[in-house]
Amino acid sequence: MAEKTLPENIAPGTICVHSGTFHDGVTGGVNSPIFTSSSYEYLDREDTCYPRYFNTPNQEVVVAKLSNLEHAEAGVLFSSGMAAISTTILSFAGRGDHVVLLDELYGGTHAFVTDCFDRLGIGYTFVKTSVDAVARAITAETRVIVIESPTNPLMNIIDIEAVAGLGIAHGIVTVMDNTFATPINQKPLALGIDVVVHSGTKYLGGHSDLCCGVALGSREHTQTILAMARHLGGSLNGITCYLLERSLKTLALRVERHCLNARRIGAELAAHDAVRRVYYPGLPGCSGYETALKQMKGFGGMLSFELANGGVGPDAFLKRLRLVRPAVSLGGVESLICAPAHTSHAKLSATERHRLGITDGLLRLSVGIEEVDDILADLDQALSTL
């Protein structure tokens, strides 16, 4: 692939714009062309392209940019975050093996494990978001540890370097879902984690209009993932690759604004009479703040808050919002809000939700990049009716 040689040590914002771009020798166009073929010639070529071999130019362009951002040697681009996560776990764990996972992992990951692992003969232990709990769950059969930080929706933080250390000490592959933080705020591979995965559907895509995922790490680890990925087949088409490449050019810029907006909104909500509690790792006093300070460059655009009236009528509050939209998913330019008890965590029993701390009045806000005063005014007018 014809990538122009870029200066070394360019900053993330510059990587976002330039890294990986396919140099168009035909026209000299400054953007990567979109390669739509699913069939490629094979004579006199070392490596034949094929979408499900994960080696088409548009796939490679995006992987190059993301690898550079995450300090990875290589990566595999997928058609969804779950394709990236399930393929990655299955690449390192099989019959008789054991996997340790945080019980606050993304609901889809949780469901994948509980629905499929028994049948596959893979043992597993879900633990609280704590390094000690992870350490205690490790057995002689443990092959993979899977973590997230911040977690959804309570924004708990785990010490990434400490978990990576456990993996190194025991020869266990550590996998981190870095969707909430993005590589702009947090670089798990630089802290010793083996494989970083993302739902690119969220901040990487950033405009709530595409679905994709990625796994990134050393050449050795990603080769293992690639071999499994070719069997399972969750590859991404060229047009969506291009949309993702286009989105990534503004990732650093968007994330900077998401962080600024979320920090301000978190502080204002924490001081609001109608709000009992705010969960945002960037607020001093929030549990995890010290660890977040150590391992995050910015605290991200996700925050949760609990209504002071115990959650009486969160739907009425949501319906009064005029700018912030009640919708699932996150990470787009527009502010979105949802009640986890009725959306992401609806399948859990009330007891299980209670144990995790997810009350009926808990609301999760994906802070967009709008003018922060407009978001605040909208939240305030809706809160004032409670």
- Would you please indicate which residues are annotated as catalytic (active-site) residues? 52, 106, 177, 202
Nearer to ligand PLP, 183 or 213 (CB): 213
Q: At what angle do helices 81-92 and 219-232 cross, to 10 degrees?
A: 110
Closest-CB residue for ligand PLP?
81
Nearer to ligand PLP, 307 or 358 (CB): 358
Cβ-proximal residues to 150 (8 Å cutoff; 6+ apart), any chain: 156, 157, 180, 181, 281, 288, 292, 300, 302
Q: How many residues does the chain have?
A: 386
Asked if 232 interacts with ligand PLP (CB under 6 A), we say: no
- Binder among 22, 54, 106, 305 for ligand PLP (CB under 6 A): 106
Q: Are 190 and 169 in contact (CB under 8 A)?
A: no
Residue 284's CB: how many other CB atoms inside 10 A?
Answer: 8
- Binder among 12, 57, 81, 314 for ligand PLP (CB under 6 A): 81
Nearer to ligand PLP, 298 or 340 (CB): 340
Size of interface with ligand PLP, in residues (CB under 6 A): 15
Nearer to ligand PLP, 85 or 307 (CB): 85
Nearer to ligand PLP, 219 or 347 (CB): 347
The CA distance from 357 to 364, in Å, is 13
- Binder among 202, 221, 254, 263 for ligand PLP (CB under 6 A): 202
| 83, HSE (Cβ side, Cα atoms, 13 Å) | 21
- Binder among 177, 194, 306, 360 for ligand PLP (CB under 6 A): 177
Q: What is the closest distance, in whole angstroms, from the C-beta atom of residue 344 to ligand PLP in the complex?
A: 8
Asked if 201 interacts with ligand PLP (CB under 6 A), we say: yes
- Binder among 13, 18, 34, 108 for ligand PLP (CB under 6 A): 108
* CA torsion angle 162 165 166 168 (round to 10): 160
Q: Are 232 and 112 in contact (CB under 8 A)?
A: no
Asked if 160 interacts with ligand PLP (CB under 6 A), we say: no
Asked if 80 interacts with ligand PLP (CB under 6 A), we say: yes
The DSSP annotation for 190-247 comes to: GGT-SEEEEETTTTTT-SS----EEEEE-HHHHHHHHHHHHHH-----HHHHHHHHHH
- Binder among 21, 59, 179, 224 for ligand PLP (CB under 6 A): 179
Q: Quick one: CA dihedral 14, 15, 16, 17, positive or negative?
A: positive
Binding site for ligand PLP (CB under 6 A): 80-82, 106, 108, 148, 152, 177, 179-180, 199, 201-202, 211, 213
